[in-house]
């Protein structure tokens, strides 16, 4: 994984070796929570998987819950990278929305266990819920900013129309991701079908191809 940005309340490494240790801890946590809940995951298990000592863990985290904020930061980076790849295409009005939503869905699918953990813990911890809301707001604002480039071009939709279209699309994205990734026993819909339908929702309200 990429080096993780500074997160409040966590000891930030100043040496590459220490950064590697931190990355190993996060990678180990993501691997473990793909098969079991965060509550069931023990610090000793994370340390064993990451090949670090418990002392190395507690030198960086005061408690296991602190890991959640670093996991949210990891997800934030991946989602922002998807939006950043999308933004230059919008500026040139060369928008392939199906590819964009496919990219976002890939981030969700790749991090399904991580997202499920963050959401479940957000219901139990207000500070985790706040960090998750901040993530949602940041990603939404970046998308809105990218799409507003279209609203400034002749013949394109107004900024207000873009905002409502984006709200409708993000709500649909949220619902379909929950149904398709997290609900047991549901019929799974291929990502390309989901991406196409999300693009159609946005196109229905915004004058883009």
Residue pLDDT, tens place only, 61-101: 989 999 999 888 888 888 888 877 776 665 554 557 788 78
3 state DSSP class of 197: helix
Q: What is the assigned CATH class of domain 66-205?
A: mainly alpha
> Bigger pLDDT: 168 or 92?
168
Give the tokens for residue 195.
């991406």
**Residue 187 CB-half CA count within 13 A:** 2
Is domain 1-63 classified as CATH 1.10.10.60? yes
pTM, rounded to two decimals? 0.70
Give the tokens for residue 128.
């985790």
Q: Which residues of the chain form CATH 1.10.357?
A: 66-205
Query: Would you say residue 54 has pLDDT above 70?
Result: yes
86-97 tens-digit pLDDT? 766 655 545 577
Q: Between vectors from CA 197 to CA 192 and to CA 203, what angle results, nearest 5°? A: 125
Query: Would you say residue 164 has pLDDT above 70?
Result: no
What's the pLDDT score for residue 78? 85
Query: Would you say residue 184 has pLDDT above 80?
Result: no
Q: Which residues of the chain form CATH 1.10.10.60?
A: 1-63
Give the tokens for residue 125.
């911890």
């Amino acid at each position: 994984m990429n080096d993780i940005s500074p997160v409040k309340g966590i000891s930030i490494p100043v040496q590459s070796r220490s950064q590697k240790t931190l990355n190993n801890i996060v990678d180990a946590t993501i691997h473990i929570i793909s098969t079991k809940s965060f509550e069931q995951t023990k610090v000793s298990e994370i340390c064993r998987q990451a090949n670090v000592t418990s002392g190395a863990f507690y030198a960086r985290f005061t408690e296991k819950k602190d890991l959640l904020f670093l996991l949210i930061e990891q997800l934030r980076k991946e989602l922002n990278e998807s939006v950043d790849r999308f933004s230059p295409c919008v500026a040139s009005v060369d928008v392939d929305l199906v590819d964009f939503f496919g990219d976002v869905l890939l981030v969700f699918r790749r991090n399904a266990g991580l997202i499920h953990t963050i959401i479940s813990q957000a219901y139990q911890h207000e500070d985790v819920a706040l960090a998750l809301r901040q993530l949602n707001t940041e990603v939404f604002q970046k998308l809105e900013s990218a799409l507003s480039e279209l609203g400034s071009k002749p013949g394109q939709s107004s900024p207000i129309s873009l905002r409502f279209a984006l709200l409708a699309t993000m709500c649909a994205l949220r619902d379909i991701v929950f149904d398709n990734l997290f609900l047991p026993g549901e019929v799974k819909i291929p990502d390309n079908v989901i991406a196409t339908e999300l693009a159609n929702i946005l196109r229905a309200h915004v004058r883009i191809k």
